[in-house]
Structure 1
């Protein structure tokens, strides 16, 4: 199951090999001349003669691939949609796209076609790739609603075009079925109830029958969304930007037809860095993948991994590593299509070793009050897929806040991603048409010397980077159990206060307060600390394992390869 992009790379390598050998055979090529552009069109006879026979080519290094495939997502229906695609011959990208559309139907508060997302893809033995299809500033600037040009449909279609092997219809159909009829989860019922005051209830009779939020367990029918999804399926996504749905979107204040038609997926190299013998990959700026890697390297330098989990030094080191990383996000991060970002410096081990020395075990690093930002909305959703070729997909999609802007059209809610231009106080994150904002979505992939072994991500707003740092730092420990590290208590630093999922032991609490933390408090909502969706490859057993985060409706499933 080879993807189109790999085939293109292989063709390029064959051409380069052929042209280089021709130059060497000329017998009079100087060392200086070999640096020049080779002749682009060797004769047909020479090309055939110079390409080594198949049986003489160097064999590719063997890589253990799992004898299984699996999906982890924030809702069982999304897991089922992805697994159905895998069971019918689709690959990891096909399954991730199917799961993404499915979960947008059953969790319309967290993600959807009115929003955007970011995805990492890595095959065994190959370099990772990143797709940033988050929303961009419309041609007319940011509207009062903070709605950006949605990128979900364009991004998932480009992913499928580049990697998919299943038919487009196959990956969209499960979502259409769910839009026609699905069961209301407890989380959806709760979110509809809590958001009722800011949603256009008069347009949402299916969510608010008789003006009251629909109850958990009830059957939900979303005919307008089903119709929009059918149009996306039948037009291969074009209808969303230039068809009937596109016309409806262009009529919304702040959006316009040109902005919709001109939307392009962001393509920049993902960020990679070393940690604990692994290569960790994150989404490029303006997303905080580099920040997670930076924090992990700081922790490794400080020896934090040797400390007891939830001990005073463990909590303090992670909190201060976040303070350091957050400062860089606020001053240096921005859209790579518009500004320069010193990405390599954030994942440079020597620089991060120097930053680690700035952390004192008995005091707090100074806080810049202007950088204070507390996003308590536990937004977004994450999907991880691994297929039986070992390809890992790590995908985070969002409407930004729950239910986004609250604006509803054609069966779906529209994002409020443009509010994220409030992050930072520099020109690195200033809005202009076509630009993407700094924000917190952070899908990650961890690889060993053979290729990817862990896909991971989470919802949770501003807490996503520090939560993933905690989970990955736990996971690399010897004999670590994925389920145990996903379930472990989490914490977050906001201002000089620690928000902790469970109250610390008395001696830990006293130690943290003595260091200088002014408050240790509980999370404002049970959903505050997200829902980690992770799958890992067990190379020794050629298997895949996962973990169901108990904080939401998360689920995962793995099946053996036939």
Structure 2
């Protein structure tokens, strides 16, 4: 068995995998000496690199690169494998966004966001005339959107794939059939979220013992039902998922769910289409930043955070300065105010994307920021093309997303964020995979201040997303960084922070991701990461005018690949079990 090189694998998961004495079928964890040498970077003429939230999934992508596959091939194989080993976060029962870029800087984006069934309306999450709370709305059928990951994968593979469709499924099939080890992170999620993980008898049987407790860390789990589903899709293509027995079973599962049953038809599933959308790009300092447009709020929010900081000397201030983080907080407050006001599915509402990323508009927004005081309030602006017919709604947070990045031997890159929304999605399971709870990303209450919100539920509509897969090109036009994150509405904040770390503070992508996260999503509240330098800065932030600074435990998970001195270097969040793997 050929071993692979692992970058930055968290010690906790390395110990768990080694201690179990049963490594994943297609993975061997590299010894420390190998990891240390690999951390210096990968030669530019190597077959590429993969960074993902789990080393076994990263190895699945690396296998595709070894076989001569493209970055997109590797990304699809990684997505499929993550659905096996990280079922709490992603899988074929969910959706995602993919952004790809070639060596010449041509960028494409693919929308595989889940869609509401045709029967959905503005009162979708109401019961007896009253809105459900977010926790009430999550489990069961009403939160499930038609999954999009496989239609996305098929579209991207048709355009950019080099290997056969069947080949991309083989690592995931092996992991599901031969088994994968429960890691500390998965065990923690099974412990903390049994309401969804064990809602379905199939999920309970797969991950819990006879005593009702989660299987212990190190247990080898086999998922033959998922292996069979993946075999079927590998043979029949994405149509095998969106038609036939799988579609019938999926629709019936949603319609007869023990909690919140809801109408979803076979026609809803068959009608789902992935969409190739125009990328949203802009210039921050001398760098071109490209991301995903609506229904994602990622690109516009990340770019606004960055561009509003451009007039400040972030490099001179540095990451140790409370003023740096004060400025980041103020810029986030403005960016999230616009996000919450305007971003939604542009196929259903008018989203002023061009106005939101216009340099003159963002310069005017930046003028509201002071390095010595805090804004009394951060309200939405009026970008060109805005139609102020919508009320503003505040974001929900979730913990069921994953991100991964790949580069291939031709210098092409793929940045892919995949999700089932909350941990284990809706809790419903079909064919060995969990179904998403993505529809809770809509505004549960459809109106605010007497106006409809842009992100209200509608049949066929895709809910607003925070996912922000991003590519950054340097002054020379070459790819400098591919990055993305998981963590619900914190995602744009995490991605912007990583880009500031790389561009302004001259940090490696690894160190930029590892920086503490500050989150200021609106209002006057600022969240800072517990146990970090930001917690020690609270008195200074309060002195700058931030009256409400709350300490929160980390729930972040980012991955990146960067090019430095002609070499690819991988980065995975030290808070996660992630790794970067070279073929």
Coarse TM-score class (shorter-chain normalised): 0.7 to 0.9
**What is the match of residue 167 of structure 1?**
164
C-alpha separation in 2, matches of 1:293 and 1:509: 26
**What is the match of residue 486 of structure 1?**
513
Helix, strand or coil at the partner of 1:520: strand
C-alpha separation in 1, matches of 2:524 and 2:85: 37
Helix, strand or coil at the partner of 1:94: helix
Matches within 5 A, 1:178-217: 178-180=175-177, 181-198=179-196, 199-200=198-199, 202-203=201-202, 204-210=204-210, 211-217=212-218
Q: For residue 510 of structure 1, report the CA deviation from its aligned partner.
A: 2.3
Q: Please, which of 326, 338, 361 is the counterpart of residue 336 of structure 2? A: 326
Helix, strand or coil at the partner of 1:403: coil
Q: For residue 470 of structure 1, report the CA deviation from its aligned partner.
A: 0.9
Matches within 5 A, 1:286-435: 286-288=295-297, 289-360=299-370, 361-367=372-378, 373=394, 375-422=396-443, 425=448, 426-435=452-461
Q: For residue 103 of structure 1, report the CA deviation from its aligned partner.
A: 0.6
Which structure exhibits the higher relative contact order, with contacts defined as CA atoms closer than 8 Å and separated by 6 or more residues? 2
Q: Please, which of 452, 460, 477 is the counterpart of residue 479 of structure 2? A: 452
Structure that is richer in helix per residue: 1
C-alpha separation in 2, matches of 1:366 and 1:477: 27
Q: For residue 117 of structure 1, report the CA deviation from its aligned partner.
A: 0.3
**Looking at CA atoms only, which structure, 1 or 2, has the larger radius of gyration?**
1
TM-score (norm 1): 0.83
Helix, strand or coil at the partner of 2:549: strand
**What is the match of residue 62 of structure 1?**
none
**What is the match of residue 543 of structure 1?**
567
C-alpha separation in 2, matches of 1:214 and 1:489: 32
C-alpha separation in 2, matches of 1:231 and 1:149: 19
Change (3 A) 1:546 1:215: same
Change (3 A) 1:120 1:322: same
Q: For residue 228 of structure 1, report the CA deviation from its aligned partner.
A: 0.9
Q: For residue 432 of structure 1, report the CA deviation from its aligned partner.
A: 2.0
Helix, strand or coil at the partner of 1:399: strand
Helix, strand or coil at the partner of 2:99: strand
Change (3 A) 1:139 1:200: same
Deviation digits for residues 117-164 of structure 1 (CA, Å, limit 9, x no counterpart)? 000011011420110101011111166521111111111111111110
Change (3 A) 1:262 1:217: same
Is the 1:364–1:515 Cα contact (8 Å) retained in structure 2?
no
Unaligned residue ranges in structure 1 (runs of 5+): 1-64
**What is the match of residue 98 of structure 2?**
119
Is the 2:173–2:230 Cα contact (8 Å) retained in structure 1?
yes
Deviation digits for residues 2-38 of structure 1 (CA, Å, limit 9, x no counterpart)? xxxxxxxxxxxxxxxxxxxxxxxxxxxxxxxxxxxxx
Deviation digits for residues 309-350 of structure 1 (CA, Å, limit 9, x no counterpart)? 142221111111111111111221121222222211222222
The count of corresponding residues between Structure 1 and Structure 2 is 490
TM-score (norm 2): 0.80
Matches within 5 A, 1:46-61: none
Of 87-96 and 242-251, deviating more is 242-251
Q: Please, which of 50, 58, 65 is the counterpart of residue 71 of structure 1? A: 50
Q: Please, which of 64, 77, 95 is the counterpart of residue 85 of structure 1? A: 64
**What is the match of residue 560 of structure 2?**
534
Change (3 A) 1:302 1:462: same
Is the 1:304–1:317 Cα contact (8 Å) retained in structure 2?
no
Deviation digits for residues 268-317 of structure 1 (CA, Å, limit 9, x no counterpart)? 20100001201000101121211101110111123334312142221111
**Aligned-residue RMSD, C-alpha:** 2.1
**What is the match of residue 512 of structure 1?**
541
Helix, strand or coil at the partner of 1:402: coil
